[in-house]
Amino acid sequence: MAEEKQASGRKPFKTMIGGQALIEGIMMIGPDRKAVVVRKPDGTLEEQVSDRVLIKDKYPLLGLPFLRGIFNFGSSMANGVKALMFSAEFYGGDEGEEEPSRFERFLEEKLGSEKLSSLIVTLAVILGMAFSVGLFILLPTAVVGGIGWLFSGMPMWVRNVLEGLVRIVIFGGYLILCSKTKDIHRVFQYHGAEHKTIFCYEAGLPLTVENVRKQPRHHPRCGTSFLFVVIVTAILLSSIVFSFVALTAPLARMGVHLLLLPVVVGLTYELNRLVGRYDNAVTRLLTAPGLWLQNFTTFEPDDSMIEVGIRAFTLVLPEEKGKDAW
């Protein structure tokens, strides 16, 4: 059945199927299904497949350009957290080692396991977004605000440039530091397996370990590239706004950054869709910084990781030919 779905003999094209690396696993999302495949400690594969429910079918307004980017960003974070929690279950220590606390038992009794799980995911998404916004958006503003306090009379354009540079340095440094840890390095190897699998399919080749291994690990439609473009878009948009509204107080500037964030995410999503459709000198120039950053967020996978990527990808291939076209 899996072989019948593979891409042998198909002309190369760009797919909208994408994924995320997990703890010893990979999540893939297709037009109809979402699949999580994890390599368990005993070497076998654990699979979780679910149908996708598109919110735009129920609320067409959320499928409109710009708005869809804001919603999809939040949805992607929620899906990622759920998949990460699923993969972590197999690597969280010995079973029965730790009993649930009284507070955990109380919450489960009051909410039920399903609602409790939903609450945990919601809190994790909120905390994750708060951490990202604080580290990459608000912290640079606070740092430059401190520099501005030491050097009074700093021109607005200098303040804007410094904020942008600090933001890029923090983002790049964070990725590089993460890549140096052993556990995250393995996650980034699975990230490479995800990209290679998608490239193999897009090239029209059968999904085999040998074919996947030959593919590049840097993909122009990667989430790393998306986040980098979010930061660059935030820098450009805030520079335009602050050229008309001369705010120097750090708290006021932070407030403006927060107000602009949904606009930034929406614009970046549409730009990413547009750039992803073409392959020319302009698009290659626009994607080059994000591809360079993938030197720190993707590493060469081993064959067992590639097998996980192939299995996850195969599980989300649509029955209708071409339905997954970008």
* 157-183 per-position pLDDT tens digit: 888 899 999 999 999 999 999 999 988
- Average pLDDT over the chain, rounded to an integer: 86
pLDDT for 224 beyond 80: yes
Q: What pLDDT is stored for residue 206 in this prediction?
A: 95
Backbone angles phi, psi at 20, to 5 degrees: -150, 140
Q: What pLDDT is stored for residue 6 in this prediction?
A: 46
Rounded average pLDDT over 311-325: 93
Which token pair is 215? 């593919």
Residue 92 pLDDT grade (very low, low, confident, very high; cuts 50, 70, 90): low
At what angle are helices 250-276 and 139-150 packed, to 10 degrees? 130
Q: What pLDDT is stored for residue 5 in this prediction?
A: 44
Chain centroid offset of residue 266 CA: 15
Residue 150, CA distances (Å) to 146, 156, 158, 325 in order: 6, 15, 14, 53
pLDDT for 218 beyond 90: yes
Which token pair is 172? 């790049």
Rounded average pLDDT over 27-48: 96
Q: What pLDDT is stored for residue 75 in this prediction?
A: 87
pLDDT for 4 beyond 80: no
Query: What confidence tens digit (pLDDT) does each residue in 254-270 have?
Result: 999 999 999 999 999 99
Query: What confidence tens digit (pLDDT) does each residue in 103-155 have?
Result: 556 556 656 656 656 667 778 778 888 888 898 889 999 999 888 877 777 88
pLDDT for 98 beyond 90: no
Q: What pLDDT is stored for residue 176 in this prediction?
A: 92
- Alpha-carbon distance of 164 to 135, in angstroms, equals 13
- pTM for this one? 0.85
- Top pLDDT among 240 and 4 is at 240
Residue 10 pLDDT grade (very low, low, confident, very high; cuts 50, 70, 90): low
